[in-house]
Amino acid sequence: MSPSPTHKAPKTLDELKELLKNDTKVKLAGVDVDGVLRGKMMSKDKFLSAVKSDGFGFCSVVFGWDIHDRTYLNELLVSNKANGYRDIDAVIDLSTYRRLPWEKDLPFFLVSFLDPDTKEPLPVDPRGVLATIVKRAEDEGWQCMSGAEFEYFQFKETPESLVEKRFVGLQPLTPGMHGYSVLRPTRNQDYFHDLYDSAADFGIEIEGHHTETGPGVYESALAYTDAARMADNACLYKLVAKSVGIKYGIMPTFMAKPWGDLPGCSGHIHVSLRDQSGRNIFAVTEAEAKAGGRKGAAYDDVKFISQEAEWFLAGLMEGLPDVVPMLCPTINSYKRLLGGEEFWAPDTASYGYDSRAASVRIISAPGVSASATRFEVRVPGADMNPYFAFAAIFALGLRGMANRTALPYGPLGSAGVTRATLAKLPTSLESAVAAFKRNGSAARAVLGDFFVDHFAGTREHELEVHRRAVTSWEVERYMELI
């Protein structure tokens, strides 16, 4: 399903031609499994031809190699030597029309990828994976709604200086720990404001923008909208930050844990469901709220969310340990989770009312209005692929609703519920992939075998590349004394 359209997105070919009447070229991009934009510039004539003919050929190798363009050590089914890294179909999504304010106001569109034989969504295309889950909800009469928050370190560096310094001794944008500082952004106010304004110009509304704890760390909260649009916005915000940063000699990074002794960078996700009237179905009724909560709620922490929301939450608790690679996709992701409570990183399948110590924070009355009732999933890092993260969360929640799953245990801190008794989340990519790909996993149940096998294969490639690497830690530890 397409996301909600951007401002001025064309609905017809004539409207599109009018939008582009003064342009000679267009930029297009799709998304790979790492959440990285892969695309090209195209002449206007070829672009319009592709729109009229339902797409154009795009090399499938973007699903056959890793983040540094190294083909997978064990070839996977989508793109490989046997099929000649053949083309897949790229279909232009006109609802995603934007202009690149930092690149001569160039027109920009996202594409989705289709299987060239079946013309069905490519099972591993991030936009297609999320669209399938969103459609699952829409078939039940519900709209998936979401928000995303990114924390990210920033450095006064360039790609060239990173290589020259061998990625050590990097200069942070500002020194010290100054979360929510009113003063600190003043030091780089042109950049700070340009991030916000450029995002707005690019069709991404930011509802909160401030410093976070850590040298040179910002947090940007993206305004709540439908899940397909939010995933686009979240993916594209990274492009905004990196592109704006180039103007100022600043490099933002969305790595989950750049420094071992400092808090990592989260990518918290907020989710809810609306019915066709626009009502938030996670909220209790007005009468239930006035009566002090829903009768029959399993625990006090969930008495101000609906029965449907409780089932959704139970689906998350049941399946969360099996989908962690979709929330935390890199080797580095798990360094953040290893910090645990000390660094505000959840490492259990847990929940609680307004609890930032839990994996899922319940945000409901009496703290917020009924329309704002939602869950904040605090497991993902800023390095997440937002399409996969949203897809996993909604898929598990919808399964919980369909099965009317009961909560397996109480909220964090309730009788008998401690960190020692809770289900643990994997704290390494290796163990996360093992849980993800095992027979009978929740991931296989909600996402299908083809996707699980492919994505697990890409993560196993990442693990193997890491296993073969000789790290600076090894050299520093062993070179002199061994």
Categorise residue 206: left if φ over 0, alpha if ψ from -120 to 50, beta otherwise.
Answer: beta
Backbone angles phi, psi at 103, to 5 degrees: -135, 60
**What would the two tokens of residue 126 be?**
């991030």
**What would the two tokens of residue 397 be?**
């929640």
| Calpha distance 411→351 (Å, rounded) | 5
| Calpha distance 364→353 (Å, rounded) | 8
Peptide bond preceding 366 in cis form (omega within 30 of 0)? yes
Q: Which residue has 């296993």 as its token pair?
A: 467
Backbone angles phi, psi at 327, to 5 degrees: -105, -30
pLDDT at position 418, please? 87
Predicted model pTM = 0.97
pLDDT at position 345, please? 78
pLDDT at position 373, please? 98
Q: Show pLDDT as tens, one digit a residue, over the chain (482 residues).
A: 679 999 999 999 999 999 999 999 999 999 999 999 999 999 999 999 999 998 999 999 999 999 999 999 999 999 999 999 999 999 999 999 999 999 999 999 999 999 999 999 999 999 999 999 999 999 999 999 999 999 999 999 999 999 999 999 999 999 999 999 999 999 999 999 999 999 999 999 999 999 999 999 999 999 999 999 999 999 999 999 999 999 999 999 999 999 988 999 999 999 999 999 999 999 999 999 999 999 999 999 999 999 999 999 999 999 999 999 999 999 999 999 986 665 567 899 999 999 999 999 999 999 999 999 999 999 999 999 999 999 999 999 999 999 999 999 999 989 999 888 999 999 999 999 999 999 999 999 999 999 999 999 999 999 999 999 999 999 999 999 99
Contact present, 357 and 341 (Cβ < 8 Å): yes
pLDDT at position 419, please? 83
